[in-house]
Amino acid sequence: MTKLRRHVARTFAALALLLGLQATVSANDLDDAFAAYKRGDFKTASHLLKPLAEEGNAEAQETLGFMYATGQAVPQNDAEAARWYRKAAEQGYAPSEYNLGVMYYLGRGVPQDDTEAAKWFRGAAGQGDADAQFYLGALCYEGRGVPQDYAEAAKWFRKAADQGNASARFDLGIIYDRGEGIPQNAAEAAKWYRLAAGQGIVEAQLSLGFMYDQGRGVPQDDAEAAKWFRKAAAQGNASGQLNLGIIYDQGHGVPQDYAEAAKWYRKAAEQGNANAQFNLGFLYDQGRGVTRDYTEAAKWFRKAAEQGLVLAQYGLGVLYGNGQGVQQGYSEAVKWYRMAAERGNAAAQNSLGMMYVKGEGVPQDYVQAHMWFDLATAQGNHHALENRDRVAAHMTPADVSKAQQLARDWLAQHQQ
């Protein structure tokens, strides 16, 4: 659920707050050190901070640790950064407790250790540090360094969320959405998703779009769904691009526009999204929003099929069977039909049955044909029902019985 690494850029955010506050120590050297740091004179700052840090001043230790972490006027050295953070953290200085927790979480300058990370995050979180509260909640949710505890995760996410932490707001929305550790509440989930989405969290924008699309926790509203999918899509989120493409494809919440659908499908497809690849291929196959081009259809079907998308496997089989966009090849058609048929696609099962009837790409085999028709018929495929009855007329009762047993065996094996 929680992608902690996406928050690493905010690891040392506490320093900015530190430098923006009036120093609590009256020593002129500390004031001078912070003034030098603010104006970018890091060499003077480090020169002034070092003796203060060695004397035990936690603010100086924190700042010196940050300078080692980032290589400002001193050689970049994570171990030294961690050493200075520890000195301040052991005095209960919250920004350093948080930063030392991050060092342990990432294994920077210290061995990676989730238990130590949780310990230091807890110290800072107890003092109200929102970032530490978020990280501690994430570790509780994932059971890393602490026992997995969704209620405890929700508690810390809420504390951070109430302080405006966008990532915590999103994760609290997820917990409400799933009902983990707290009663499931779609309206509360939508509330927290909205707050995080408004702060630019792309996953929250996507989640809120789904809430509006499905009418969960909010009134069903295609236009609102399109709005939030568009925000996610504009940030380059492939799922947002796919879903915005679907909205234009179907004309839900926006005027139907196949060209716009193709545009957004392409953006997601180029990022490797299999559903977008199939949908773009289908538009090329049908000539909707783009010039009909079976070669392009085959290209995108293949990309999605190779990722295991069943509909794309079936579609690629059709193109090989018809020789559209690819050189006609019944063996290739059978290969892709079989992949989709084995995954339970009724249309592919019917098509594979026809290949056995005609002996195209496989030896003619009415028993195999009947088996695949039977499986497709069980899913309500009317073409398969007609085909099964036709092929049965050319089979002995013993062969029909054998085919039926093969179908039962297949179902037993695939329903386990």
**pLDDT reported for residue 29:** 85
Domain contains 229: no
CB-based contacts of 71, cutoff 8 Å, min separation 6: 77
Contact indicator for 263, 256 with CB cutoff of 8 Å: no
Task: Tally Cβ neighbours within 10 Å of residue 303.
Answer: 22
Domain contains 315: no
- Tokens representing 114 are 């989730």
pLDDT in tens, 115-171: 999 999 999 999 999 999 999 999 999 999 999 999 999 999 999 999 999 999 999
Work out the mean pLDDT of the chain and round it to a whole number.
93
Q: Please count the structural domains in the chain.
A: 1
Looking at this protein, which amino acid is placed at residue 120?
W
Domain contains 284: no
Residues 40-46, mean pLDDT to the nearest whole number? 95
Domain contains 221: no
With bands split at pLDDT 50, 70 and 90, how would you rate the model's confidence at 27? low
| Rounded distance between C-alpha atoms, residue 134 and residue 128, angstroms | 11
- Tokens representing 296 are 């392009």
- CATH number for position 31: 1.25.40.10
pLDDT in tens, 201-220: 999 999 999 999 999 999 99
**pLDDT reported for residue 415:** 82
Domain contains 11: yes
Structural domain including 117 reads 1-125
Domain contains 77: yes
**pLDDT reported for residue 69:** 96
Residue indicated by tokens 């290209």: 299
**pLDDT reported for residue 255:** 97
Domain contains 55: yes
Contact indicator for 95, 14 with CB cutoff of 8 Å: yes
Give residue 251's region: left, alpha or beta (phi > 0; psi -120 to 50).
Answer: left
pLDDT in tens, 389-412: 999 999 999 999 999 999 999 999
pLDDT in tens, 325-371: 999 999 999 999 999 999 999 999 999 999 999 999 999 999 999 99
CB burial class (10 A; 0-12, 13-18, 19+) of residue 343?
A: middle
Domain contains 353: no
| Rounded distance between C-alpha atoms, residue 289 and residue 249, angstroms | 9
Residues 2-14, mean pLDDT to the nearest whole number? 40
- Tokens representing 376 are 């497709």
* pLDDT > 90? residue 86: yes
With bands split at pLDDT 50, 70 and 90, how would you rate the model's confidence at 285? very high
| Rounded distance between C-alpha atoms, residue 330 and residue 360, angstroms | 6
